Amino acid sequence: MSVSVATTPRAFAAQILEGGYSCESILERCPAEWHGLVMEHVRVTQDRRDMNVARQQKFRPPAKPSIPQTATYQEQHQVRGNPVVAAAHLAAVRASINSNRAISQ
């Protein structure tokens, strides 16, 4: 990271907030009468960042539980019929199909 020459208290605060160098090394290069102002700029900026994060967290949807969503097993309903009646109906259907073929030919 290149060291840029800061000429204002706000520029020194920006260098501190970038985090490339320690706060002490940047304050050593800063004029002594600006130390309070630089630290005030840093504090205000950090407060604004915290406020923005809190605002974004407020609008974030709540986390969903990580419980796997599975359906409960349900036994299939078995429909019981009368095989004798079913055979009679099937025979009637087959007879009607075969009788239509004999007529149409």
Structure confidence by residue, pLDDT tens digits, 16-65: 888 877 888 888 888 999 999 999 999 999 999 999 999 999 888 888 77
Apex CA 48: angle with CA 32 and CA 4, to 5°? 45
Q: Is the pLDDT of residue 103 over 60?
A: no
Q: Which residue has the tokens 């036994």?
A: 75
The pLDDT value given to residue 26: 87
Query: Whole-model pTM?
Result: 0.52
- Burial class of residue 42, CB neighbours in 10 A (0-12, 13-18, 19+): buried
Give the span between the Cα atoms of 30 and 7, in whole angstroms.
Answer: 9
Q: Which residue has the tokens 């090394």?
A: 25
Structure tokens at 28: 């050593």
Domain ranges of the chain: 9-59
